[in-house]
């Protein structure tokens, strides 16, 4: 994030900054990366993010001593397409 709370597009070849807060969409699976467009999201998914994207449920459950018994195992394991924004 930049000083004013504005984010940069996570696609390395783009890096476009937001012009207003919450302009970019976050990855719907992990919430870690931000994209200015569907094109940047799809390209970054193929290039890098697919290998590093971890569903929020997993890392939240890992930090929690009493994991959610209703969590679905393997969510996102077999993802072939990029997650929706």
**56 C-beta neighbours (distance < 10 Å), count:** 14
> pLDDT, tens digit, for every residue of 35-59?
999 999 999 999 999 999 998 776 5
Residue 16 has pLDDT above 90, yes or no: yes
* pLDDT for residue 57: 73
* pLDDT for residue 14: 95
Q: Residue 51: helix, strand or coil by DSSP?
A: helix
Per-domain residue ranges for the chain?
Answer: 1-56
């Amino acid at each position: 994030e930049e000083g004013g709370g504005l984010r940069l597009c996570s696609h390395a070849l783009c890096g476009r900054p937001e012009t207003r807060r919450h302009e970019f969409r976050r990855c719907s699976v992990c919430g870690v990366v931000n994209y200015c467009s569907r094109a940047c999201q799809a390209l970054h998914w193929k290039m890098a993010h697919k290998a590093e994207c971890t569903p929020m449920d997993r890392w939240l459950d890992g930090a929690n001593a009493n994991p959610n018994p209703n969590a679905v195992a393997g969510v996102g394991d077999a993802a072939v397409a990029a997650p929706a924004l």
